[in-house]
Chains A and B, each alone.
Chain A
Amino acid sequence: MRVLCCVKRVPAPGAKINITADGQDVDTAHLGFAMSPHEECAVEEAVQLCERFDGEATVLTLGPPEAEEQLRYAASLGVQKAVLLSTDGSSWDPQRTASAIASAIETLEAADGPFDLILFGNESADSGGYQVGIRAAHALGRPIVNAIKGIEPDLDAGTATAKREIDGGFELYNLPMPAVMGVKEGLNLPRYPTMRGRLASKKIEVSVMQAEADEGGQTRVTLKQPAETVSNTVKLGNGPEAAPAIVDLFEELGLL
Protein backbone atom coordinates (compact mmCIF):
# COMPACT_ATOMS: atom_id res chain seq x y z
CA MET A 1 0.00 0.00 0.00
CA ARG A 2 1.31 3.45 -0.92
CA VAL A 3 0.04 6.40 1.10
CA LEU A 4 0.82 10.08 0.57
CA CYS A 5 0.11 12.77 3.16
CA CYS A 6 0.18 16.45 2.25
CA VAL A 7 1.06 18.83 5.08
CA LYS A 8 1.50 22.58 5.59
CA ARG A 9 4.04 24.40 7.74
CA VAL A 10 2.17 26.88 9.98
CA PRO A 11 3.18 29.06 12.94
CA ALA A 12 2.44 27.63 16.40
CA PRO A 13 0.77 30.54 18.20
CA GLY A 14 -0.01 30.89 21.91
CA ALA A 15 -2.59 33.25 23.34
CA LYS A 16 -2.44 35.96 20.65
CA ILE A 17 -1.35 36.14 17.03
CA ASN A 18 0.60 39.26 16.09
CA ILE A 19 0.77 40.67 12.58
CA THR A 20 3.84 42.11 10.85
CA ALA A 21 4.06 45.92 10.47
CA ASP A 22 3.13 45.75 6.75
CA GLY A 23 0.03 43.71 7.61
CA GLN A 24 0.97 40.97 5.17
CA ASP A 25 1.76 38.10 7.47
CA VAL A 26 1.73 36.62 10.94
CA ASP A 27 4.71 37.94 12.93
CA THR A 28 6.66 34.74 13.61
CA ALA A 29 9.73 36.38 15.19
CA HIS A 30 8.96 34.68 18.51
CA LEU A 31 7.00 31.68 17.31
CA GLY A 32 7.88 28.09 16.53
CA PHE A 33 6.37 26.20 13.60
CA ALA A 34 4.43 22.97 13.28
CA MET A 35 2.32 21.18 10.74
CA SER A 36 -1.43 21.89 10.91
CA PRO A 37 -3.10 19.68 13.58
CA HIS A 38 -5.34 17.81 11.13
CA GLU A 39 -2.24 16.92 9.13
CA GLU A 40 -0.39 15.48 12.13
CA CYS A 41 -3.21 12.94 12.14
CA ALA A 42 -2.85 12.42 8.38
CA VAL A 43 0.82 11.58 8.93
CA GLU A 44 0.03 9.24 11.84
CA GLU A 45 -2.65 7.50 9.77
CA ALA A 46 -0.28 7.05 6.83
CA VAL A 47 2.34 5.52 9.13
CA GLN A 48 -0.18 3.22 10.84
CA LEU A 49 -1.64 2.01 7.53
CA CYS A 50 1.80 1.33 6.12
CA GLU A 51 2.78 -0.58 9.28
CA ARG A 52 -0.37 -2.72 9.01
CA PHE A 53 -0.26 -3.37 5.29
CA ASP A 54 3.50 -3.36 4.76
CA GLY A 55 3.40 -0.19 2.69
CA GLU A 56 5.33 2.97 2.06
CA ALA A 57 4.34 6.37 3.45
CA THR A 58 5.41 9.59 1.74
CA VAL A 59 5.00 13.15 3.03
CA LEU A 60 4.78 16.19 0.76
CA THR A 61 4.66 19.89 1.53
CA LEU A 62 4.43 23.04 -0.55
CA GLY A 63 6.26 25.84 1.19
CA PRO A 64 9.53 27.66 1.85
CA PRO A 65 12.81 25.72 2.20
CA GLU A 66 12.34 25.87 6.00
CA ALA A 67 9.34 23.53 5.67
CA GLU A 68 11.94 20.76 5.49
CA GLU A 69 11.65 20.88 9.31
CA GLN A 70 8.06 19.56 9.12
CA LEU A 71 9.07 16.87 6.60
CA ARG A 72 11.81 15.66 8.93
CA TYR A 73 9.37 15.65 11.82
CA ALA A 74 7.05 13.41 9.76
CA ALA A 75 10.05 11.16 9.07
CA SER A 76 10.71 10.92 12.81
CA LEU A 77 7.20 9.47 13.17
CA GLY A 78 7.86 6.78 10.57
CA VAL A 79 7.28 8.27 7.10
CA GLN A 80 9.80 6.82 4.63
CA LYS A 81 9.91 9.42 1.84
CA ALA A 82 9.75 13.22 1.89
CA VAL A 83 9.11 15.73 -0.90
CA LEU A 84 9.48 19.51 -0.67
CA LEU A 85 7.68 21.59 -3.29
CA SER A 86 9.75 24.68 -2.82
CA THR A 87 8.34 28.23 -2.99
CA ASP A 88 9.84 31.60 -2.11
CA GLY A 89 7.72 31.63 1.04
CA SER A 90 5.13 34.09 -0.24
CA SER A 91 1.44 33.32 0.29
CA TRP A 92 0.14 31.05 -2.48
CA ASP A 93 -3.57 31.14 -3.30
CA PRO A 94 -5.55 27.87 -3.09
CA GLN A 95 -5.95 27.32 -6.87
CA ARG A 96 -2.23 27.77 -7.43
CA THR A 97 -1.31 25.56 -4.45
CA ALA A 98 -3.64 22.73 -5.52
CA SER A 99 -2.48 22.88 -9.11
CA ALA A 100 1.22 22.68 -8.13
CA ILE A 101 0.54 19.79 -5.73
CA ALA A 102 -1.51 17.86 -8.31
CA SER A 103 1.22 18.12 -10.95
CA ALA A 104 3.87 17.11 -8.41
CA ILE A 105 1.79 14.03 -7.52
CA GLU A 106 1.57 13.14 -11.22
CA THR A 107 5.37 13.36 -11.45
CA LEU A 108 5.85 11.19 -8.34
CA GLU A 109 3.36 8.60 -9.58
CA ALA A 110 4.91 8.46 -13.04
CA ALA A 111 8.16 7.44 -11.36
CA ASP A 112 6.97 5.07 -8.61
CA GLY A 113 3.36 4.10 -9.34
CA PRO A 114 0.06 5.42 -7.96
CA PHE A 115 -0.69 6.24 -4.33
CA ASP A 116 -3.60 4.13 -3.07
CA LEU A 117 -4.53 6.85 -0.65
CA ILE A 118 -3.74 10.57 -0.53
CA LEU A 119 -4.52 12.37 2.72
CA PHE A 120 -4.94 16.13 3.13
CA GLY A 121 -5.85 18.05 6.27
CA ASN A 122 -9.50 19.11 6.13
CA GLU A 123 -8.32 22.73 6.26
CA SER A 124 -5.07 24.46 7.21
CA ALA A 125 -4.82 25.95 10.70
CA ASP A 126 -3.84 29.37 9.36
CA SER A 127 -5.51 30.38 6.08
CA GLY A 128 -8.31 27.78 6.25
CA GLY A 129 -9.38 27.88 2.59
CA TYR A 130 -11.21 24.50 2.72
CA GLN A 131 -10.38 23.58 -0.89
CA VAL A 132 -6.79 22.54 -1.73
CA GLY A 133 -7.42 18.80 -1.27
CA ILE A 134 -10.68 18.96 -3.23
CA ARG A 135 -9.09 20.83 -6.15
CA ALA A 136 -6.11 18.46 -6.24
CA ALA A 137 -8.40 15.39 -6.16
CA HIS A 138 -10.49 16.85 -8.99
CA ALA A 139 -7.38 17.54 -11.07
CA LEU A 140 -6.27 13.92 -10.53
CA GLY A 141 -9.78 12.60 -11.33
CA ARG A 142 -10.04 10.84 -7.95
CA PRO A 143 -12.84 10.60 -5.39
CA ILE A 144 -12.57 12.76 -2.26
CA VAL A 145 -14.64 13.22 0.88
CA ASN A 146 -13.85 15.74 3.62
CA ALA A 147 -14.10 15.75 7.44
CA ILE A 148 -12.96 12.14 7.77
CA LYS A 149 -12.31 10.76 11.27
CA GLY A 150 -12.02 7.04 10.52
CA ILE A 151 -10.44 5.08 7.63
CA GLU A 152 -10.58 1.33 7.04
CA PRO A 153 -9.09 0.05 3.78
CA ASP A 154 -10.10 -3.28 2.24
CA LEU A 155 -7.17 -4.08 -0.04
CA ASP A 156 -8.83 -7.15 -1.57
CA ALA A 157 -11.86 -5.13 -2.60
CA GLY A 158 -9.72 -2.11 -3.51
CA THR A 159 -11.91 0.17 -1.43
CA ALA A 160 -11.67 2.22 1.75
CA THR A 161 -14.49 2.90 4.20
CA ALA A 162 -14.41 6.45 5.55
CA LYS A 163 -16.29 7.88 8.54
CA ARG A 164 -17.30 11.52 8.47
CA GLU A 165 -18.26 13.24 11.70
CA ILE A 166 -21.71 14.85 11.72
CA ASP A 167 -23.64 16.21 14.71
CA GLY A 168 -24.39 13.24 16.95
CA GLY A 169 -22.60 10.54 14.96
CA PHE A 170 -20.94 9.55 11.71
CA GLU A 171 -21.78 9.23 8.02
CA LEU A 172 -20.16 6.34 6.17
CA TYR A 173 -18.66 6.41 2.69
CA ASN A 174 -17.07 3.64 0.68
CA LEU A 175 -14.50 4.97 -1.80
CA PRO A 176 -12.74 3.00 -4.52
CA MET A 177 -8.97 3.38 -4.28
CA PRO A 178 -6.95 5.25 -5.41
CA ALA A 179 -8.80 7.80 -3.28
CA VAL A 180 -8.23 11.15 -1.59
CA MET A 181 -9.53 12.17 1.83
CA GLY A 182 -9.58 15.40 3.82
CA VAL A 183 -9.01 14.27 7.40
CA LYS A 184 -9.64 15.86 10.78
CA GLU A 185 -7.93 15.71 14.13
CA GLY A 186 -9.41 12.86 16.17
CA LEU A 187 -8.75 10.37 13.35
CA ASN A 188 -6.12 8.92 15.68
CA LEU A 189 -3.80 9.99 18.49
CA PRO A 190 -0.46 10.97 16.88
CA ARG A 191 2.61 9.39 18.45
CA TYR A 192 5.66 11.27 19.68
CA PRO A 193 8.98 10.73 17.90
CA THR A 194 11.21 8.01 19.34
CA MET A 195 15.00 8.31 19.58
CA ARG A 196 15.28 5.90 16.64
CA GLY A 197 12.80 8.01 14.72
CA ARG A 198 14.79 11.16 15.38
CA LEU A 199 17.93 9.52 14.03
CA ALA A 200 16.09 8.31 10.92
CA SER A 201 14.70 11.80 10.34
CA LYS A 202 18.23 13.21 10.15
CA LYS A 203 19.25 10.69 7.51
CA ILE A 204 16.19 10.86 5.26
CA GLU A 205 16.82 12.38 1.87
CA VAL A 206 14.34 15.16 1.08
CA SER A 207 13.52 15.38 -2.64
CA VAL A 208 13.19 19.00 -3.63
CA MET A 209 11.05 20.06 -6.58
CA GLN A 210 10.33 23.62 -7.67
CA ALA A 211 6.64 24.42 -7.14
CA GLU A 212 5.13 25.76 -10.34
CA ALA A 213 1.58 26.86 -11.18
CA ASP A 214 -0.36 29.88 -12.39
CA GLU A 215 -1.91 32.28 -9.90
CA GLY A 216 -5.62 31.92 -9.17
CA GLY A 217 -8.31 34.54 -8.66
CA GLN A 218 -7.89 35.16 -4.94
CA THR A 219 -5.18 37.44 -3.53
CA ARG A 220 -4.42 38.32 0.08
CA VAL A 221 -4.54 42.08 0.58
CA THR A 222 -3.82 42.27 4.29
CA LEU A 223 -4.37 40.59 7.65
CA LYS A 224 -6.04 42.31 10.57
CA GLN A 225 -7.04 41.64 14.17
CA PRO A 226 -10.72 41.10 14.91
CA ALA A 227 -12.37 43.44 17.41
CA GLU A 228 -10.91 42.61 20.83
CA THR A 229 -13.15 40.74 23.27
CA VAL A 230 -13.08 43.08 26.25
CA SER A 231 -14.65 41.69 29.33
CA ASN A 232 -15.19 43.29 32.71
CA THR A 233 -14.44 40.08 34.53
CA VAL A 234 -16.39 39.81 37.79
CA LYS A 235 -14.52 37.93 40.50
CA LEU A 236 -16.84 35.60 42.41
CA GLY A 237 -14.36 34.60 45.09
CA ASN A 238 -11.39 32.46 46.08
CA GLY A 239 -11.07 28.69 46.33
CA PRO A 240 -13.77 26.22 47.42
CA GLU A 241 -15.48 28.95 49.52
CA ALA A 242 -16.65 30.42 46.21
CA ALA A 243 -18.83 27.35 45.50
CA PRO A 244 -22.12 28.92 46.75
CA ALA A 245 -21.50 32.02 44.60
CA ILE A 246 -20.84 29.78 41.58
CA VAL A 247 -24.06 27.83 42.12
CA ASP A 248 -25.92 31.15 42.63
CA LEU A 249 -24.74 32.06 39.14
CA PHE A 250 -26.08 28.76 37.76
CA GLU A 251 -29.46 29.59 39.31
CA GLU A 252 -29.44 33.19 38.01
CA LEU A 253 -28.83 31.89 34.50
CA GLY A 254 -31.70 29.44 34.90
CA LEU A 255 -29.40 26.44 34.53
CA LEU A 256 -30.30 24.79 37.84
Chain B
Amino acid sequence: MADILVLAETEDGAVVPATLEALTAARQLDGDVHVLLCGDSVDADDAAERLGEYGASTVHVGESDLLNVFGPEAWGQALALAIEEISPDVVLASGTSKGNEVLAMAAARLDLPFVANCTELPSELADDDEVELTRVQWGGSLLEQSQLSAETRIVSIAHHALEAESAGGSAAATETIDMEIDDLYARTQVVGREMAEAGVTLATAPIVFGGGRAVGSAEAFAPLEECASLMGGRVGCSRAVTNNGWRPHRDQVGQTGTRIAPELYVASGISGAIQHWVGAMASKQILAINTDPEANMVVKADYFVEGDLHQVIPAVAEEIKKRKA
Protein backbone atom coordinates (compact mmCIF):
# COMPACT_ATOMS: atom_id res chain seq x y z
CA MET B 1 0.00 0.00 0.00
CA ALA B 2 1.18 3.50 -0.82
CA ASP B 3 2.03 6.14 1.77
CA ILE B 4 0.54 9.62 1.41
CA LEU B 5 1.96 12.51 3.44
CA VAL B 6 -0.28 15.56 3.90
CA LEU B 7 1.05 18.89 5.18
CA ALA B 8 -1.15 20.41 7.90
CA GLU B 9 -1.49 24.16 7.63
CA THR B 10 -2.32 25.94 10.88
CA GLU B 11 -3.70 29.34 11.83
CA ASP B 12 -4.64 30.76 15.23
CA GLY B 13 -4.00 27.51 17.07
CA ALA B 14 -6.00 25.23 14.76
CA VAL B 15 -5.63 23.23 11.58
CA VAL B 16 -7.15 25.26 8.72
CA PRO B 17 -10.22 23.91 6.84
CA ALA B 18 -8.21 23.76 3.57
CA THR B 19 -6.11 20.96 5.08
CA LEU B 20 -9.30 18.91 5.50
CA GLU B 21 -9.86 19.28 1.73
CA ALA B 22 -6.36 17.90 1.15
CA LEU B 23 -7.14 14.96 3.47
CA THR B 24 -10.41 14.29 1.65
CA ALA B 25 -8.43 14.17 -1.62
CA ALA B 26 -5.71 11.98 -0.06
CA ARG B 27 -8.33 9.47 1.10
CA GLN B 28 -9.44 8.89 -2.48
CA LEU B 29 -6.02 7.38 -3.18
CA ASP B 30 -5.27 3.81 -2.15
CA GLY B 31 -2.84 4.49 0.65
CA ASP B 32 -2.04 5.08 4.28
CA VAL B 33 -2.56 8.77 5.11
CA HIS B 34 0.10 10.48 7.24
CA VAL B 35 0.05 14.12 8.31
CA LEU B 36 2.96 16.39 9.18
CA LEU B 37 2.06 18.88 11.92
CA CYS B 38 4.79 21.48 12.43
CA GLY B 39 5.56 22.80 15.92
CA ASP B 40 3.47 23.24 19.03
CA SER B 41 1.12 26.07 18.00
CA VAL B 42 -1.69 23.49 17.74
CA ASP B 43 -2.52 20.98 20.47
CA ALA B 44 -1.39 17.64 19.00
CA ASP B 45 -4.19 15.57 20.58
CA ASP B 46 -6.92 17.94 19.35
CA ALA B 47 -5.34 17.91 15.90
CA ALA B 48 -5.05 14.09 15.89
CA GLU B 49 -8.76 13.82 16.62
CA ARG B 50 -9.74 16.29 13.91
CA LEU B 51 -7.29 14.92 11.32
CA GLY B 52 -8.24 11.34 12.17
CA GLU B 53 -11.89 12.17 11.58
CA TYR B 54 -10.91 13.18 8.03
CA GLY B 55 -8.93 10.01 7.37
CA ALA B 56 -5.41 10.46 8.77
CA SER B 57 -3.93 7.33 10.36
CA THR B 58 -0.79 8.91 11.84
CA VAL B 59 0.03 12.50 12.76
CA HIS B 60 3.78 13.15 12.81
CA VAL B 61 4.51 16.10 15.05
CA GLY B 62 7.67 17.92 13.97
CA GLU B 63 9.36 19.25 17.09
CA SER B 64 11.70 22.22 16.98
CA ASP B 65 11.62 25.72 18.47
CA LEU B 66 11.92 27.00 14.93
CA LEU B 67 8.61 25.42 13.90
CA ASN B 68 6.38 26.94 16.55
CA VAL B 69 5.56 29.97 14.44
CA PHE B 70 5.28 29.87 10.67
CA GLY B 71 8.37 30.37 8.54
CA PRO B 72 8.50 29.11 4.94
CA GLU B 73 12.14 28.03 5.06
CA ALA B 74 11.91 26.21 8.42
CA TRP B 75 8.61 24.54 7.49
CA GLY B 76 10.02 23.63 4.06
CA GLN B 77 13.03 21.98 5.70
CA ALA B 78 10.74 20.16 8.14
CA LEU B 79 8.66 18.79 5.28
CA ALA B 80 11.80 17.71 3.43
CA LEU B 81 13.04 15.91 6.58
CA ALA B 82 9.66 14.23 7.05
CA ILE B 83 9.74 13.08 3.42
CA GLU B 84 13.16 11.52 4.00
CA GLU B 85 11.95 9.85 7.21
CA ILE B 86 8.59 8.53 5.97
CA SER B 87 9.48 7.96 2.27
CA PRO B 88 5.95 8.68 1.05
CA ASP B 89 4.88 8.00 -2.52
CA VAL B 90 2.78 11.19 -2.60
CA VAL B 91 3.16 14.49 -0.73
CA LEU B 92 0.06 16.63 -0.67
CA ALA B 93 -1.20 20.00 0.61
CA SER B 94 -4.06 22.32 -0.22
CA GLY B 95 -3.04 24.89 -2.84
CA THR B 96 -3.27 27.85 -0.49
CA SER B 97 -0.63 30.57 -0.40
CA LYS B 98 1.32 28.82 2.37
CA GLY B 99 0.54 25.27 1.21
CA ASN B 100 2.06 25.90 -2.21
CA GLU B 101 4.94 27.84 -0.65
CA VAL B 102 6.00 25.05 1.74
CA LEU B 103 5.63 22.33 -0.92
CA ALA B 104 7.76 24.37 -3.35
CA MET B 105 10.37 24.93 -0.64
CA ALA B 106 10.59 21.19 0.16
CA ALA B 107 10.67 20.33 -3.56
CA ALA B 108 13.51 22.81 -4.10
CA ARG B 109 15.50 21.26 -1.23
CA LEU B 110 15.02 17.71 -2.55
CA ASP B 111 15.35 18.74 -6.22
CA LEU B 112 12.00 17.13 -7.01
CA PRO B 113 9.27 18.45 -9.32
CA PHE B 114 6.16 20.01 -7.75
CA VAL B 115 2.81 20.26 -9.55
CA ALA B 116 0.65 23.04 -8.09
CA ASN B 117 -3.13 23.29 -8.01
CA CYS B 118 -4.40 19.99 -9.41
CA THR B 119 -8.17 19.82 -9.82
CA GLU B 120 -8.38 16.11 -9.00
CA LEU B 121 -6.02 13.28 -8.13
CA PRO B 122 -6.02 10.18 -10.37
CA SER B 123 -5.64 6.82 -8.60
CA GLU B 124 -2.33 6.13 -10.45
CA LEU B 125 -0.78 8.98 -8.47
CA ALA B 126 -0.41 6.60 -5.50
CA ASP B 127 1.58 3.90 -7.27
CA ASP B 128 2.92 5.08 -10.63
CA ASP B 129 6.15 7.08 -11.07
CA GLU B 130 4.76 8.59 -14.26
CA VAL B 131 1.34 10.13 -13.98
CA GLU B 132 -0.77 12.64 -15.92
CA LEU B 133 -2.41 15.32 -13.79
CA THR B 134 -5.00 17.99 -14.50
CA ARG B 135 -4.03 21.36 -13.07
CA VAL B 136 -5.22 24.95 -13.08
CA GLN B 137 -3.79 27.61 -15.39
CA TRP B 138 -4.86 31.25 -15.68
CA GLY B 139 -6.45 31.08 -12.24
CA GLY B 140 -8.91 28.44 -13.48
CA SER B 141 -9.75 29.81 -16.94
CA LEU B 142 -7.75 27.03 -18.57
CA LEU B 143 -6.73 23.53 -17.52
CA GLU B 144 -3.40 21.88 -18.24
CA GLN B 145 -2.68 18.17 -18.58
CA SER B 146 0.75 17.79 -17.05
CA GLN B 147 3.03 14.76 -16.94
CA LEU B 148 4.76 14.27 -13.60
CA SER B 149 7.75 11.92 -13.43
CA ALA B 150 9.13 11.36 -9.95
CA GLU B 151 9.58 8.68 -7.33
CA THR B 152 8.12 11.04 -4.70
CA ARG B 153 5.23 12.95 -6.23
CA ILE B 154 4.69 16.39 -4.67
CA VAL B 155 1.37 17.99 -5.64
CA SER B 156 -1.15 20.47 -4.27
CA ILE B 157 -4.90 20.22 -4.75
CA ALA B 158 -6.46 23.54 -5.78
CA HIS B 159 -8.25 25.20 -2.84
CA HIS B 160 -12.05 24.70 -3.19
CA ALA B 161 -11.56 22.07 -5.95
CA LEU B 162 -13.48 19.70 -3.69
CA GLU B 163 -15.41 19.94 -0.43
CA ALA B 164 -13.97 18.51 2.75
CA GLU B 165 -15.94 15.42 3.85
CA SER B 166 -15.57 13.70 7.18
CA ALA B 167 -14.61 10.02 7.01
CA GLY B 168 -15.97 9.47 10.51
CA GLY B 169 -12.55 8.15 11.50
CA SER B 170 -11.23 7.90 15.03
CA ALA B 171 -8.31 9.91 16.37
CA ALA B 172 -5.03 9.40 14.50
CA ALA B 173 -1.98 8.00 16.26
CA THR B 174 0.61 10.62 17.08
CA GLU B 175 4.36 10.26 16.72
CA THR B 176 6.95 12.94 17.25
CA ILE B 177 9.85 13.59 14.94
CA ASP B 178 12.70 15.53 16.51
CA MET B 179 13.58 18.00 13.76
CA GLU B 180 17.01 19.55 13.37
CA ILE B 181 16.12 22.82 11.71
CA ASP B 182 18.94 25.07 10.55
CA ASP B 183 19.13 28.11 12.92
CA LEU B 184 19.64 30.29 9.86
CA TYR B 185 15.96 29.84 8.98
CA ALA B 186 14.84 32.04 11.84
CA ARG B 187 15.38 34.75 9.18
CA THR B 188 12.04 34.01 7.52
CA GLN B 189 9.87 33.43 10.59
CA VAL B 190 6.79 35.55 11.19
CA VAL B 191 7.79 38.34 13.61
CA GLY B 192 4.43 40.08 14.04
CA ARG B 193 0.97 40.79 12.73
CA GLU B 194 -1.09 43.81 11.73
CA MET B 195 -4.76 42.95 11.79
CA ALA B 196 -7.55 45.12 10.41
CA GLU B 197 -10.61 45.84 12.54
CA ALA B 198 -12.73 42.76 12.95
CA GLY B 199 -15.74 42.52 10.68
CA VAL B 200 -16.92 41.03 7.45
CA THR B 201 -14.18 40.80 4.79
CA LEU B 202 -14.51 40.64 1.04
CA ALA B 203 -13.68 36.92 1.20
CA THR B 204 -16.41 36.19 3.77
CA ALA B 205 -19.20 38.72 2.94
CA PRO B 206 -22.62 37.15 2.17
CA ILE B 207 -23.27 39.81 -0.50
CA VAL B 208 -20.73 41.75 -2.55
CA PHE B 209 -21.55 44.85 -4.59
CA GLY B 210 -18.96 45.00 -7.35
CA GLY B 211 -18.26 47.96 -9.62
CA GLY B 212 -16.19 48.14 -12.78
CA ARG B 213 -14.70 50.76 -15.04
CA ALA B 214 -18.20 52.03 -15.90
CA VAL B 215 -18.59 53.41 -12.36
CA GLY B 216 -16.31 56.20 -13.59
CA SER B 217 -14.70 57.63 -10.44
CA ALA B 218 -13.87 56.98 -6.79
CA GLU B 219 -16.79 59.17 -5.64
CA ALA B 220 -19.29 57.33 -7.84
CA PHE B 221 -18.84 54.22 -5.66
CA ALA B 222 -20.90 55.92 -2.91
CA PRO B 223 -24.26 54.31 -3.86
CA LEU B 224 -22.59 50.87 -3.97
CA GLU B 225 -21.08 51.58 -0.53
CA GLU B 226 -24.53 52.54 0.73
CA CYS B 227 -26.12 49.29 -0.51
CA ALA B 228 -23.27 47.24 0.98
CA SER B 229 -23.51 48.91 4.36
CA LEU B 230 -27.33 48.60 4.44
CA MET B 231 -27.01 44.86 3.85
CA GLY B 232 -23.89 43.94 5.82
CA GLY B 233 -21.95 43.28 2.64
CA ARG B 234 -18.80 44.62 1.07
CA VAL B 235 -17.88 46.59 -2.04
CA GLY B 236 -15.65 44.86 -4.56
CA CYS B 237 -14.21 46.10 -7.85
CA SER B 238 -12.41 45.08 -11.03
CA ARG B 239 -8.72 45.49 -11.83
CA ALA B 240 -9.49 48.52 -14.06
CA VAL B 241 -10.79 50.29 -10.94
CA THR B 242 -7.72 49.61 -8.79
CA ASN B 243 -5.40 50.47 -11.70
CA ASN B 244 -7.15 53.85 -11.91
CA GLY B 245 -6.58 54.34 -8.19
CA TRP B 246 -10.34 54.65 -7.47
CA ARG B 247 -10.29 51.90 -4.82
CA PRO B 248 -7.55 50.22 -2.76
CA HIS B 249 -6.24 46.92 -4.07
CA ARG B 250 -7.74 44.98 -1.14
CA ASP B 251 -11.16 45.60 -2.76
CA GLN B 252 -10.17 43.93 -6.02
CA VAL B 253 -12.04 40.77 -7.01
CA GLY B 254 -10.01 38.72 -9.46
CA GLN B 255 -7.11 36.46 -10.34
CA THR B 256 -4.65 38.92 -8.79
CA GLY B 257 -7.05 40.09 -6.09
CA THR B 258 -9.49 38.29 -3.80
CA ARG B 259 -11.47 35.14 -4.72
CA ILE B 260 -14.97 35.71 -3.39
CA ALA B 261 -17.76 33.20 -2.71
CA PRO B 262 -20.79 35.20 -1.48
CA GLU B 263 -24.43 34.06 -1.61
CA LEU B 264 -24.97 36.83 -4.18
CA TYR B 265 -22.53 38.88 -6.23
CA VAL B 266 -24.03 42.03 -7.72
CA ALA B 267 -21.73 42.92 -10.63
CA SER B 268 -22.41 46.47 -11.79
CA GLY B 269 -20.87 47.80 -14.97
CA ILE B 270 -18.44 44.88 -15.13
CA SER B 271 -17.79 43.29 -18.53
CA GLY B 272 -16.46 40.06 -17.06
CA ALA B 273 -12.92 39.73 -18.42
CA ILE B 274 -11.05 36.54 -17.45
CA GLN B 275 -9.03 38.35 -14.78
CA HIS B 276 -12.22 39.35 -12.95
CA TRP B 277 -14.34 36.27 -13.68
CA VAL B 278 -11.98 33.80 -12.02
CA GLY B 279 -12.25 35.81 -8.80
CA ALA B 280 -16.06 35.91 -8.97
CA MET B 281 -16.95 32.47 -10.35
CA ALA B 282 -17.29 30.80 -6.93
CA SER B 283 -20.24 33.12 -6.09
CA LYS B 284 -23.41 31.09 -5.42
CA GLN B 285 -25.56 33.49 -7.52
CA ILE B 286 -24.63 36.42 -9.74
CA LEU B 287 -26.76 39.43 -10.64
CA ALA B 288 -25.30 41.51 -13.48
CA ILE B 289 -26.35 45.12 -13.97
CA ASN B 290 -25.14 46.30 -17.34
CA THR B 291 -26.13 48.39 -20.36
CA ASP B 292 -24.79 45.64 -22.63
CA PRO B 293 -26.92 42.46 -22.68
CA GLU B 294 -24.11 40.62 -24.54
CA ALA B 295 -21.42 41.33 -21.92
CA ASN B 296 -19.55 38.23 -20.73
CA MET B 297 -20.64 38.82 -17.13
CA VAL B 298 -24.31 39.04 -18.20
CA VAL B 299 -24.14 35.82 -20.21
CA LYS B 300 -22.64 33.97 -17.22
CA ALA B 301 -24.91 35.57 -14.61
CA ASP B 302 -28.01 33.99 -13.05
CA TYR B 303 -29.91 37.31 -13.10
CA PHE B 304 -29.64 40.40 -15.24
CA VAL B 305 -30.93 43.96 -15.15
CA GLU B 306 -30.42 45.97 -18.32
CA GLY B 307 -29.59 49.53 -17.41
CA ASP B 308 -27.15 52.14 -16.23
CA LEU B 309 -25.77 51.33 -12.79
CA HIS B 310 -25.77 55.06 -11.94
CA GLN B 311 -29.58 54.95 -12.05
CA VAL B 312 -30.22 51.39 -10.91
CA ILE B 313 -27.99 51.28 -7.77
CA PRO B 314 -29.40 54.44 -6.09
CA ALA B 315 -32.92 53.12 -6.76
CA VAL B 316 -31.93 49.80 -5.12
CA ALA B 317 -30.59 51.68 -2.08
CA GLU B 318 -33.90 53.58 -1.75
CA GLU B 319 -35.91 50.35 -2.07
CA ILE B 320 -33.82 48.62 0.63
CA LYS B 321 -34.34 51.58 3.01
CA LYS B 322 -38.09 51.58 2.29
CA ARG B 323 -38.39 47.88 3.17
CA LYS B 324 -36.20 48.13 6.25
CA ALA B 325 -38.26 51.09 7.57
Name A's B-contacting residues (CB within 8 A). Answer: 13-17, 19, 26, 37-38, 93-95, 98, 122, 125-131, 134-135, 138-139, 143-147, 149, 163-176, 184-186, 189-190, 216-226, 229, 231, 233-247, 249-251, 253-256
Contacts and interface: CB of A to CB of B under 8 A. Distances in A.
B187 interface: yes
Contacts of A253: 263-264, 285
Do most interface residues of chain A lie in helix, strand or loop, or is the interface mixed?
A: mixed
Given A128-B136, A220-B144, A167 B97 contact: no
Nearest to A10: B138
B104 interface: yes
A218 B292 CA distance: 43
Interface of B: 11, 70, 72-73, 95, 97, 100-101, 104-105, 107-109, 111-117, 132, 136-150, 156, 187-196, 198, 201, 203-204, 206-207, 231, 233, 239, 242-243, 245, 248-250, 252, 255-257, 263-264, 271-275, 277, 281, 285-288, 296, 298-308, 311-312, 314-316, 318-320, 323-324
Given A225-B142, A243-B312, A250-B207, A144 B307 contact: no
B305 A217 contact: no
Do most interface residues of chain B lie in helix, strand or loop, or is the interface mixed?
A: mixed
Given A175-B187, A218-B115, A243-B315, A186 B302 contact: no
B309 to A, nearest CB: 10
Contacts of A19: 142
A172 to B, nearest CB: 4
A238 B314 CA distance: 14
Nearest to A221: B145
A235 B287 CA distance: 9
Given A15-B273, A167-B201, A220 B114 contact: no
Given A217-B113, A234-B303, A255-B206, A170 B138 contact: no
Nearest to A159: B187
A244 B319 contact: yes
A236 B323 CA distance: 19
Q: Which of A15, A125, A174, A251 has the most CB of B within 10 A?
A: A15
Nearest to A11: B138
